[in-house]
Structure 1
């Protein structure tokens, strides 16, 4: 009996042990379409045999991945279902000794019968939330005929495009544009915005893409990039497609561009070209308000490029090459007020520049998987650039506000005009007047390469990775300058104004190279728990040799003449500089990563001992110095998944940084007498905290979405410039110093919903931004100098609201926005103001018979609350477009009118702790253009061609228009 009881006890313990183990099996994999695109929200079911009872189930993520945790041992069938594709069944036998089973990548086959019979009657949602990915439906946004990607992006909820073409989506900078998961021209955002036609796009996905290292190893290196991944319309990957657009207009405007693509199965080839002199300004269309994008100068550009990507089961290749030419003519008038404890300083300037630039860039990417356990990535890049610049400027500094004496001080900056004191209305407040010219050329060559090798040591997460990098840059800059400065508060030996004349030739060759080697290791220490180690060594070398030649002794020399014979003998040692810098960095990091069904947590710390060597020579001053410092960088990343469409993410990153070694040297740099710099050996390292919170949720049935984002950053011991103003010369002496108090907080909230019939939509986008800027202001001279800490704060509250009605031939929208700011200055409270900007308008797009479309929008932007009444003005912007499509949808003629009422200005404004400024630029905003657009579509499927040529659809809600506020009008600055 005793043996029987003992045997039963052992059997029971063994059974319970085995049973407990079976609950820990995790089944994972990935589902893709036959085009290798991720199958988003595909249904994955694990059916227990023999009764086919569902044991577990889930839906795939935006990248097509799925995980089924806590599965018992046994025999199963894995069923994958996806609308428009044939269901797939995979037999699985899970053993109790197994803790994880990866089924690999499952490719679904198109169900032709289902696609043929499918009838879509629902409105397409504008945006969907799939975990941490936002998926936009292209057909839900109307754009003009022949529109490029930029026109679609600015309509996306939460998207903003600034004056330089930089894109933010939900407050995060867009870093790359991809097509079907592959980089387009190296991911270059501006190339993608200007050259990808809207008609080819099915969906747009935006998400934070991990670096190659983090994607392969799971080790968070803090190099996430926000990307926009475009899905090409189905059927368009079986042939040729493209378009050409030629246009001419008033004000001598012209534009031409073409794009030719061949997408076949897993291969993409694209050729793009363009030429224009309209600053790449696109038409805003009928789906949103006009843009107040400034044209900072007149720019003509030309571009030609080729891009390719291909892949097999084991090898992915991709790359691009492009040539750019840019010719810019930029004129500006500016006004600046510098905050000072003893009375502010005022300056005005006029400038004119002619810039010509040529650039060639090439990049390549290879990812090779020789077997299921090995991954190799190689990325080389090369670039060459040449620029030529000619500039002339006039400027003047005043002891009090020049606008109190004349209506336009910028008309009184030329030295010839103010030569006679009796005819100069500003002579009593003048400090200096400077007229200068410059001619420069620059050549640069750079190349870099990255090699990464990863080897999985088992299927439980143990892996080892090596990554090596190399980079080289050679830059050669030559500059001719001539200037004449009059000092009205300094007297010369004869009792007249002091005059400083400089004619110089400056050469600055620089050379840089660097290399690094990194080894990482990941060890699973428990179920779905990983301990990760990384070590990296990095070396950087840079060399700069600045030589300044004084050409004042050559009276016949000018900017338009050749260098005079014998100029080499006139080098000025005190204005030259040689610096050789060597940097050695060790980076050891450790992190712990937890992966659970409802949350993911990663926490780590990086330790960075650094050794630097600087050899420096300036005139008679020579020094060889070394520095040893220790930096550290903590990081934390928590993702909580409430459901497949609702999640919260919180991140924290800390970074310590050291001041540059040149800033630590106790030397005086007076090469620019108006801006003298003095080093500070007492500088301390800075530490920056960055915290971010992100939450989103989405109701597919009601097409209702909520999204919020909060970001906070603060810097301890940040390096600020302590500036001492010289009231006799109008110049500044600047010394870098540590300061505390710089921080910034940003928050946004987006809400979108469709009304019950899905034809009416309401979108709201709210944001708040608070900036706390600190700086040192110094008054007095020498021993009487008093340094005080100044704080400026800027609270900006904004709201954008959009409502729209859509049916199959008509769209009408109303939009409005307001931005309210509270600007305060601690030391000079008289400068405080509470300006606000509001805009309102309407837009419509009408599809008329005979394939004709009319688009128009009108909006008024108003500014109020500025201390200077000239700033409180209105800008009424009206654009319109009429287009006619013919040749079975392959050709379009479009007539476009921009800024019909000629009300748009090109003015920018900035505020810091040390001052504020306003600049107005030249530009052509009001003109008309006639376009001819032709589309080439040669596909293997007629249905695909029809889809390309068909009119754009309509859809549900969005978070609001993606436009941002424009410039600030008026001649008077504040």
Structure 2
């Protein structure tokens, strides 16, 4: 023993050789940071040096003399790994390459894990789904896979959440793919190329380079391409045609449904190229390859939104690494470039009916309103984003991100509404169809009615650029960083409105107004930041390190808006809505209304001093800091012929803290606190009275103060790999200090609402709490005989306050209106998979409980039930034939109108068969909502009232799909797998129907408009000669 100690004392690292490598997780392929690395001299195994892997998993040991050595790698949750190497006399650089650590749990259960393919795994903060564990139709796009992932919810409006967290972008092999446009990936990427789907909190460019958290992380979904498909071409062509079945909200206007999609992907080692294009009026311009998703009843045509949309998408995305990766630094190349260019266009039409009730003060008055609107819209835009990262050496990192976009849109709408002092359902069945013929009744309970028409158009140009420079001064974490951001936008718009207003209690106020607004706007901002990161303590033998980060940031923002309003006499323009023709330009100034026009400029000077402290160890990370924000604002505006200048200086401070404790690689606990301040909007600060809508008058408030938001969240997740079971628990609490709410005054005689934005006092004036619990477990020894149970429980509570006053109140001022809303939902799925059968039972129940202190009518309780089975039969030996049926019962209770309290039985059926050699072709048919019972109803509750809405859409329809896949891969193994798949049949499943696109709007002219690309009579339109037209 003494001899060994003596040898250790005499050993010196005074040689000429350096040894380096990168430590990886054998199962996930991700870098293992802070792994303990111990160096021993052989043959006596004398410990001579110790270190840890850095954030990229790499390590370097320098100045090794000639001799034989052993390296021991260890980390919590992994089996210890030993490796030996020799340093010869001429050796100067020894690369040990990839060091693969295996999990202890996997080693103990290796035979079982190899037999099973778990649907989900958790490693650190990453949730990983194995795509092959889910049966997806051949030729299906990513959207169909996403709908089946445990804990993942894809909302009708396209919002994507994982365990309650909103996903902001989808990536491919760690590379950005069409920026934040998730729909490009969901609607176009073929599932067959996906090996794993990983979700995690992605740090900002700054945090990834410096290793210090700046609080700008985002939740991303990262698709891992199958290894044998990373060198070759993946292309899909998807064509579909169909028609509505039975009665629908559009009558005979829509007779043909169609979609076309082309996707070409090129992968080759460090390169990615993707070309996508789709067009159609089914499923938002694409339809679902091989049928829509299973689950939740599949969803009818309106499942993707409100209304019917002819949409067009096209885009090109690329990513390329140039040069050879730096030794010991995975995925760090001298030059990385990437970006995308995409076009989005749509031509849509929508209709909606709304019933609402205003929460009044404790008086005998009541307020109900009913409205109907019909709108059309066309829009088109080109967006581009690029990213260039240059590393001249291993110490310098430069990132440049330019963006540029151009868009235009047009909108036309008509709206009719009526307001009553009593519940109109007590007197009329068809309220909007009867009220105009019930004169005496309206003189009794009628307050006002409004018929309006409008048309608008807009154009916008945007440019932005971000430049970041980082210099690594040593390998212990000392960095200096500088950033520069610039953004510019220029927009213009025109708005034409005609309003016919009737007041039943005072007809002398009846008016007809013809108004025109023009609204040019210019915005620009400059942001610069300088940051220093300093290592305080770095003890690699213990795996402990502490860092200090100090930064200063300056931001300048400028905004210039011009809102000129012109009003034309109804006697001179009685039918103005027929052509929206403006007077001679030389006479326009005669109709300019200074009392309605506003010209304003806004300048903001922001300074930010930020101090952050970070401490890391083998099993924990701690970050906390504080930001100081002195801000100075200048505002100039002209209104009603009065010119005014205002200035304001405020001081804000924002604390942040985060603590993450890792029990094992599969179990962790995370605490996060964030404080943030925000300024009132420019419009809210203007001291103007805006009566452009005579029934809803708003008043600005220059005295508004900034708000401060607090948010505390806790997350616990664990994955029991040997039992294939996982738990995920999230809870968050947030409040807003000096929250901005409405001070509302309601005139019972006229139905006019006057509101002003004000700050609410009190710590609990506006606060909320949210919770999410997800449980997933699998039973069975293989994916061909498995039962999966998934449960997701969500709950939320929100407390909102505002001021409410009624004109008939003769004593006292405004009263505080408090609305408390509680929402609880449970989603349970049982899925059994066999070689030739897949059965799933799904149930979803949500309960909404609302209470208002001023009006008992504001006490609302609504229930939504959704449950039913999905059955899929698979005949792999006969052209991979599949047939599926999904049935879903939807029930609603507690809505104000009996028409909204419905029982809907949604039944979807689909069938699919594979064709050609290696199943290269797929033909499928689907019939959604066979019984034609689906509707589109929603409820919204605020401090001032509630509203129930129903929107039009096409639910019942028949579609036929043909998909052809042409895949060419550069390695022999991939081609052989493709041939084997063709003989054996790929696992997959049928889906229910996708939804039809949403959004209102007019297609009158313009790119993608009524006569343009994708409009009526155009490519694929409802008129003659179009693809899929009559």
Q: TM-score, normalised by structure 2?
A: 0.83
1:838 is matched with 865
Q: Are residue 884 (structure 1) and residue 919 (structure 2) matched? A: no
Task: Report the equivalent of 1:305.
Answer: 315
Aligned equivalent of 2:597: 576
Seen in structure 2, the aligned counterparts of structure 1 residues 756 and 254 have a Cα distance that, compared at 3 Å, is closer
Aligned positions of 1:572-721 closer than 5 A: 572-660=593-681, 662-721=683-742
Q: Which moved more, 1:374-383 or 1:918-927?
A: 918-927
Residues 865, 892 of structure 2: 8 Å contact kept: yes
Per the alignment, residue 759 of structure 2 pairs with 738
Alignment of 1:515 with 2:534, yes or no, is no
Change (3 A) 1:871 1:59: farther
Q: 1:900 to 1:88 in 2, by over 3 A?
A: farther
What's the secondary structure of 1:246's corresponding residue?
strand
Return the match for 1:48 from 40, 57, 74: 40
| Segment drifting more, 373-382 vs 30-39 | 30-39
Higher mean C-alpha displacement, 279-288 vs 579-588: 279-288
Partner residue, 1:6: none
Q: Deviations over 1:753-777 (max 9, x none)?
A: 2225451222222222112122221
- 2:401/2:467 contact within 8 Å kept: yes
Matched-pair contact (CA < 8 Å) for 1:295–1:922: no
Moved more, 248-257 or 852-861: 852-861
Per the alignment, do residues 945 and 837 of structure 1 end up closer, same or farther by CA in structure 2, a change over 3 Å counting?
Answer: farther
Structure 2 distance, partners of 1:403, 1:830, is 15
Alpha-carbon spacing, 1:855–1:912, altered in 2? closer, same or farther (3 Å): same
Give yes or no for the alignment of 1:821 onto 2:864: no
SS at match of 1:835: strand
Shift of 1:427: 4.1
Change (3 A) 1:858 1:48: farther
The residue aligned with 1:359 is 381
Per the alignment, residue 338 of structure 2 pairs with 318
Identify if the C-alpha distance between structure 1 residues 661 and 936 changes in structure 2 by more than 3 Å, giving closer, same or farther: closer
Q: Report SS of the residue matched to 2:117.
A: coil
Deviation at 1:688, TM superposition (A): 0.9
Q: Structure 2, unaligned stretches of length 5 or more? A: 75-80, 88-92, 101-110, 245-255, 323-332, 539-544, 999-1030
Q: Is the 8 A contact 2:196 2:223 kept in 1?
A: yes
Computed over aligned residues only, the root mean square deviation of the Cα atoms, in angstroms, reads: 3.7
Q: Alignment partner for residue 554 of structure 1, among 551, 555, 572?
A: 572
Counterpart CA distance in 2 for 1:800 and 1:829 is 31
Instruction: Confirm or deny: 8 A CA contact 2:534 2:549 kept in the other structure.
Output: yes
CA positional deviation for 1:560: 4.0
- Cα separation, 1, equivalents of 2:130 and 2:33: 15
Classify 1:317/1:156 alpha carbon distance in 2 versus 1 (closer, same or farther; 3 Å): same
Higher relative contact order (CA 8 A, sep 6+): 2
8 Å CA contact 2:201, 2:217 repeated in 1: yes
* Correspondence for 1:385 among 390, 407, 410: 407
Are the equivalent residues in 1 in contact too, given 2:41–2:70 (CA < 8 A)? yes
Counterpart CA distance in 1 for 2:137 and 2:629 is 53
Partner of 1:296: 306
Seen in structure 2, the aligned counterparts of structure 1 residues 16 and 884 have a Cα distance that, compared at 3 Å, is: closer
Structure 2 counterpart of 1:930: 960
1:191 and 2:184 matched: yes
Q: Deviations over 1:13-40 (max 9, x none)?
A: 9999999999xxxx99745799997468
Residue matched to 1:804: 831
- Residue aligning to 1:894: 924
Out of 261, 265, 277, which is 1:257 matched to?
261
Bigger Cα displacement from structure 2, 517-526 vs 755-764:
755-764
C-alpha contact 1:577 1:618 (8 A) present in aligned 2:
yes
2:886 corresponds, among 842, 853, 857, to: 857
User: Which residue of 2 is the match for residue 506 of structure 1?
Assistant: 517
Change (3 A) 1:107 1:377: farther
Equivalent residues of 1:144, 1:286 under 8 A apart:
no
Residue 396 of structure 1 and its aligned partner are, at CA, apart by 1.1
Q: Distance in 2 between matches of 1:798 and 1:856?
A: 25
1:275 pairs with 2:279: yes
| 2:473 pairs with 1:457 | yes
Aligned mates of 2:410, 2:497 — CA distance in 1: 14
- Which range is displaced more, 383-392 or 753-762? 753-762
Q: How much does 1:660 deviate?
A: 3.7
Please, which of 554, 559, 581 is the counterpart of residue 542 of structure 1?
Answer: 559
Tell me which of 209, 230, 233 is aligned to 1:216. Answer: 209
Cα contact 2:24–2:31 (8 A) shared by 1: yes
Q: What is residue 132 of structure 1 aligned with on the other side?
A: 125
8 A Cα contact 1:337 1:916, kept in partner: yes
CA spacing shift, 1:65–1:695, aligned 2, 3 Å: farther
- Match in the other structure for 2:439: 421
Aligned to 2:1025: none
582-591 vs 830-839, which moves further = 830-839
After the TM superposition, which of the residue ranges 756-765 and 128-137 deviates more from structure 2? 756-765
**Displacement after TM superposition at 1:845 (Å):** 2.0
CA gap 1:521/1:879 in 2 versus in 1, 3 angstroms: same
Q: Quote the offset at 1:374 in angstroms.
A: 0.3
Kept in 2, the 8 Å contact 1:279–1:300? The answer is: no
1:755 aligns with 2:779: yes
| Aligned partner of residue 379 in structure 1, secondary structure | strand
Secondary structure of the 2:183 match is helix
Deviates more, 1:768-777 or 1:247-256: 768-777
> Alignment partner for residue 902 of structure 2, among 863, 867, 873?
873
Partner of 1:972 in structure 2? none
Residue 372 (structure 1) shift: 0.5
Kindly state the Cα deviation for residue 103 of structure 1 after the two structures are TM-superposed: 10
> C-alpha deviations, 1:738-767, integer Å up to 9, x for none?
224211111111122222545122222222
- Name the SS for the 1:151 alignment partner: helix
Residues 295, 437 of structure 1: alpha-carbon distance in 2 compared, 3 angstrom cutoff: same
**Residue number in structure 2 paired with 1:98:** none
Alpha-carbon distance in structure 2 between the residues aligned to 1:756 and 1:249: 40
Question: Aligned to 1:431, which of 447, 450, 458?
Answer: 447
8 Å CA contact 1:294–1:906 kept in 2: the answer is no
- Aligned CA distance change for structure 1 residues 157 and 381 (closer, same or farther; 3 Å): same
- Say if 1:316 and 1:827 are closer, same or farther in 2 by CA, change over 3 A: same
Question: Residue 402 in 1 paired to residue 424 in 2?
Answer: yes
Aligned partner of 2:583 among 564, 574, 590: 564
Mapped partners of 1:340, 1:19: distance in 2: 85
Determine whether 1:370 maps to 2:392: yes
Q: Distance in 2 between matches of 1:88 and 1:265?
A: 30
Give 1:285 shift.
3.9
| TM superposition shift of 1:838 | 2.4
Describe the SS at the equivalent of 1:250.
Answer: strand
Candidates 336, 345, 356, aligned match of 2:356 = 336
Deviates more, 1:774-783 or 1:427-436: 774-783
Query: 1:755, 1:813 → 2: CA distance?
Result: 14
Shift, 1:505, TM fit: 1.6
Aligned pair in 2 of structure 1 residues 90, 263: CA closer, same or farther (>3 Å)? farther
TM-score, normalised with respect to structure 1:
0.87
Conserved? CA contact 1:31–1:105, under 8 Å: no
